[in-house]
Chain A
Amino acid sequence: MALYLIVALDVLNGISLLFLLCLGLAIIFGMMKIINLAHGEFIMLGAYATVISANAGVNIWIAMLVVAPLFVGLVGLIIERCLIRFLYGRLVDSMLATWGLSLLIIGIVTTIYGNTQQGVPTPLGGFSIGSYQSSYYTLFLAGMAIAMMALVYGVMRYTRLGLIARATMQNPAMAATLGVNPTRVYMSTFAVGAAVTGLAGGLVAPVSGITPGMGGAYVAKAFMTVVGGGAAMLSGTMSAASLFGAVNQVGAYFTTPVYGEVLVFTAAIVLIRLLPQGISGRFFKGNL
């Protein structure tokens, strides 16, 4: 019994981590159709911001929940102004440019901090279920995933800001006619997407190895999840994250971690074959 609970927690952990890591990408890709190949590096920047400020004496929670998203959001804003705004509607060019950007960011971070960076210990500690141990941080991550989901839903569904954002994404020309400035909406959407990604980076910092190249481990899965989720930003990402996260964790538990990875990629291929528009192209049409 205790074992099942622990495995259920692992699955929950896998899903919430995947969701958090994808949400920023879903905002940028889902709403603006910009393929941001530097997504992994935004995560890395978030992790570095957290680790460096925490090691400099900032409270770990502030470093994770405030410093990381603010810093990466700011970086996102600068990048949007200097690079991305010239690439709207140019899908292939945007891929090439953001890929170059990712190499640049890795290079800059390596030059400044080297290949080695001291991490931060995981806060909160562990608890036991029966004779099994798990960490409170797992529950915290799940809580953060739910909070982020609620926050994004709330903003998009109930505020004027969300309404304008959705309108601009659906039809920029019409929104502009009605007095909205699409440039500004794109700019802030990209910054918000970057900030959410930075937050995810901050949240994974205490449970991962911190290196300049760490983004590489996340970017493929993040794209797979966002594409598998389809057009609906929130419900699509959530359902795809649940599917892939659960397949990965359950697969890894009952077979080996190698097959856990293989199963996720197989699941993604089957999913895209059966539902080319992603999960939300079929089941949550018109949802957020």
Chain B
Amino acid sequence: MSFSRRRFLRHSALATTTLIAAPAVFRSGAFGAENPIVVGSLHDQSGPIAASGTPMVYALQLAVDEINAGGGLLGRPLKVIHYDTQSNIQMYSQFAQQLAVKDKVDVVHGGITSASREAVRPTFDRFKVLYFYNVLYEGGVCDRNTFCTGTTPAQTVEKLVPSAMKKAGKKAYIIAADYNYGQITAKWMTKYVKDNGGEVLSTDFFPLDVTNFGTTISKIQAAKPDLILSALVGGNHTAFYRQWTSAGMKGKIPIASTTFGLVNEPTTLDAAESDSILGAYGYFEELTTPASKSFVEKIKKAHPDSPYVSELAACTYEGAMLWAEGVKKAASIDRMKVIEALESGIAFDGPSGKVSLDKPTHHTTRNAFLAEVKDRKWSVLESYSDVKPADTASVCDLVKNPTDTKQYIINL
């Protein structure tokens, strides 16, 4: 069979039109009222970050189940499409594309490390898929398509540092993990130490595979600080607390941490190694409010072997619920309409208390808590209500610049 040029052109023009039209045709078919609203989920359930990701998946599922039990949204049920990102950034990029292009989800909740968030955020911007990042992080993301529901340093470090300094003294020694979270958090720690009239003797960073902290412990002893501020991350770094205790330093210099106990440190360490370490987060499993108790109970009932239910799980649940409130208010699943509804001062009473979305930053105003480890559990010492994301607010204003998509590094 021979192809003339004209015939070839006609054929390929037809094929191209079909290809271009296909998504629209399929889409309109897929938007029938009986079809579920699709919620995308990207969380690590295997690999080094699995202990963080697993309870987040449970929390998202719980939120979706509760919404479905209440009749769904706009008369349509919700359906979760979940991908295990395996603690691997490449998987994040790949599955983000898949959620946006193939599964055509209406919203995505997910991302754990800051690196994973920055890997998927541009994809969701490009494909115009609404994105919720429900993890505490270093702050500064300014993107109208993205909502960050976790705490930022102005909400936690700002509370942690002064109370630790009041207890211990003015001279601090900072130890932190060597990647963007640790580096930026160390800057915040330095700022708050100075703001409170203190002094930072030294700041040490550790690659995530460091396991021997002997020299650091000697250096700390030589520097003689009143207080240690730790932003160490991951299983290898828990070795620090062990070696610190085995050198007999436990109890001589107090430790306050922005990461300790976020996942499973209190349960993996011995009571002698973890007692009296201070931490500040947006939520603790040990909170005794009825909302918190029933939240933890539901997760533990469905998954008896769930790891610690931390801020990560609580914020994921609250993030999903805030999104649902937005959809209800917008009375539509259209992305722009939902964003505008979410910007109208939506609030939700979740396990951590009242959480409301802040229009100019797309972050949350939420409660923060200060706690101390006692006998392998957190004992909550103090709570602060309605703390604003002041750090991000100082650099980000989406009302003025709605097209902004940057993550600002906050200059201190």
Residues of A whose CB lies within 8 Å of any CB of B are: 3, 6-7, 9-10, 13-14, 17, 110, 114-122, 124-128, 131-135, 137-138, 204, 206-211, 213-214, 216-218, 248-249, 252-253, 256-258, 260-261
Closest chain B residue to A131 by CB distance?
Answer: B221
| Interface segment out of the listed B43-51, B112-120, B124-132, B387-395 | B43-51
Q: Shortest CB–CB separation between residue A102 and chain B, in angstroms? A: 14
Closest chain-A Cβ to B58's Cβ sits at a distance in Å of: 14
Interface Cβ pair total, 8 Å cutoff: 144
Q: A116-B51, A213-B47 are in contact. Are A125 and B221 (CB under 8 A)?
A: no
* B306, closest chain A residue (CB): A114
* Closest Cβ neighbor of B208 among chain A residues: A217
Cβ contacts B194-221/A at 8 Å (1 or 0 each): 0000000000111101111011111101
Q: What residues on A are CB-neighbors of B383 within 8 Å?
A: none
In the assembled complex, how far is the CB of residue A97 from the closest CB belonging to chain B, in whole angstroms?
A: 22
Given contacts A208-B239, A217-B236, contact A133 B248 (CB under 8 A): yes
Q: Provided the pairs A14-B212, A121-B245, A217-B211 are in contact, do residues A7 and B236 lie with their beta carbons within 8 angstroms?
A: no
A133 in contact with B221 (CB, 8 Å):
yes
Given known A-B contacts A110-B46, A210-B268, A211-B235, A257 and B216 have beta carbons under 8 A apart: yes
Report which B residues bind A (CB closer than 8 A). 46-48, 50-51, 54, 178, 204-207, 209-212, 214-219, 221-222, 234-239, 242-243, 245-249, 252, 263-264, 267-270, 272-273, 305, 307
| Cα–Cα, bound, A208→B210 (Å) | 10
Whether B243 and A118, one on each chain, are in contact in the complex, defined by CB atoms closer than 8 angstroms, is no
In the bound assembly, the distance between CA atoms of A213 and B248 in angstroms comes to: 28
> What residues on B are CB-neighbors of A116 within 8 Å?
51, 263-264, 267-268, 307
A127-B248, A257-B204 known; A118+B219 contact, CB < 8 A: no
The answer to whether B246 and A207 have CB atoms under 8 Å apart is yes
Partner of A209, one of B207, B239, B267: B239
Given contacts A121-B273, A132-B218, A257-B207, contact A115 B51 (CB under 8 A): yes
Query: Closest Cβ of chain A: how far from B15's Cβ, in Å?
Result: 43
| Bound complex: CA A135 to CA B209 (Å) | 22
Shortest CB-to-CB span from A108 to chain B, Å, is 13
Tell whether, in the assembled complex, residue B246 and residue A253 are in contact, meaning their CB atoms are under 8 Å apart.
Answer: no
The answer to whether A119 and B207 touch (CB under 8 A), given A207-B239, A214-B236, is no
Among B204, B212, B267, point to the contact of A17 (Cβ < 8 A). B212
How close is A211's CB to chain B, nearest CB, in angstroms? Answer: 4
| Complex: A230 Cα to B224 Cα, angstroms | 42
* Inter-chain contacts of A110 with B (CB < 8 A): 46, 50
Which residues of B lie under 8 Å from residue A6 when comparing CB positions?
Answer: 218, 221
What residue of chain B has the Cβ atom nearest to residue A248's Cβ?
B212
Q: How far is the CA of A119 from the CA of B267 in the complex (A)?
A: 9
Query: What B residues does A14 contact at CB under 8 A?
Result: 212, 214-215
Contacts of B218 in A (CB 8 A): 3, 6-7, 10, 132, 134, 253
Most chain A Cβ neighbours within 10 Å, of B214, B239, B307? B214
Q: For B212, give its contact among A3, A7, A13, A211 (CB under 8 Å).
A: A13
- Given the interface pairs A135-B248, A211-B48, A257-B210, the reply to whether A121 lies near B215 with Cβ below 8 Å is no
CA A258 to CA B186, docked complex, whole Å: 15
A-B residue pairs in contact (CB < 8 Å), sample of 12: A7-B218, A117-B268, A125-B246, A128-B248, A133-B248, A207-B239, A208-B238, A213-B47, A216-B209, A248-B212, A257-B206, A261-B207
Instruction: Other than A125-B248, A126-B249, give 6 A-B pairs with Cβ distance below 8 A.
Output: A9-B214, A116-B267, A133-B249, A135-B247, A209-B237, A258-B178
A213 close to B235 (CB less than 8 A) = yes
**Cross-chain contact of A207 among B216, B242, B272 (Cβ < 8 A):** B242
Min CB distance, B259 to chain A, in Å?
13
Distance between B143 CB and nearest chain A CB, rounded to angstroms = 31
User: Residues of A contacting B305 with CB < 8 Å?
Assistant: 114
Shortest CB distance B388–A (Å): 34
Chain B residues with Cβ below 8 Å from A217 are 209-211, 236
B239 to chain A, nearest CB (A): 4
Determine which of A7, A118, A122 lies in contact with B267 in the assembled complex, contact meaning CB atoms within 8 Å.
A118
Most buried by A among B215, B216, B238, B249: B215
Q: Pick the contact of B247: A126, A206, A208 (CB < 8 A).
A: A126
Given A209-B236, A211-B235, A253-B218, also A258-B205 (CB < 8 A): yes
Chain B nearest CB from A70 CB (Å) reads 24
Quick one: closest A residue to B203, CB to CB? A256
Residues of A within 8 A of B270 (CB): 118-121
The reply to whether A249 and B214 contact each other, CB–CB distance below 8 Å, is yes
Determine whether the beta carbon of A208 is less than 8 Å from that of B211.
Answer: yes
Contact B214 A256 (CB under 8 A): no
Contacts of A137 in B (CB 8 A): 246
- Which of B209, B210, B235, B307 is in CB contact (< 8 Å) with A210? B235
Q: Quick check: B221 and A209 within 8 Å, CB to CB?
A: no
Q: Which residue of B lies closest to A3 (CB)?
A: B222
Q: Which residues of A contact B210 (CB under 8 A)?
A: 217, 257, 261
Give the complex CA separation of A287 and B273 in angstroms: 44
> In the complex the two chains form, is A115's CB within 8 Å of B214's CB?
no
Minimum C-beta distance from B349 to chain A (A): 30
Query: Cβ of B206: which chain A residues have Cβ within 8 Å of it?
Result: 257-258
**5 nearest CB pairs, A to B:** A126-B248, A122-B246, A209-B238, A211-B235, A209-B235
Contact, CB under 8 Å: B221 / A119? no
B-chain residues with CB within 8 Å of residue A13 when the two chains form the complex = 212, 214
CA A169 to CA B204, docked complex, whole Å: 46
Instruction: Give the complex CA separation of A280 and B229 in angstroms.
Output: 44
- A125 to B202 CA separation, bound complex (whole angstroms): 27
State A114–B217 Cα separation when bound (angstroms): 30
Given A210-B235, A214-B235, A256-B204: A138 and B267 interface contact (C-beta under 8 Å):
no
Question: B234 contacts which chain A residues (CB < 8 A)?
Answer: 209
* Cβ-defined contact, A121 with B272, below 8 A: yes
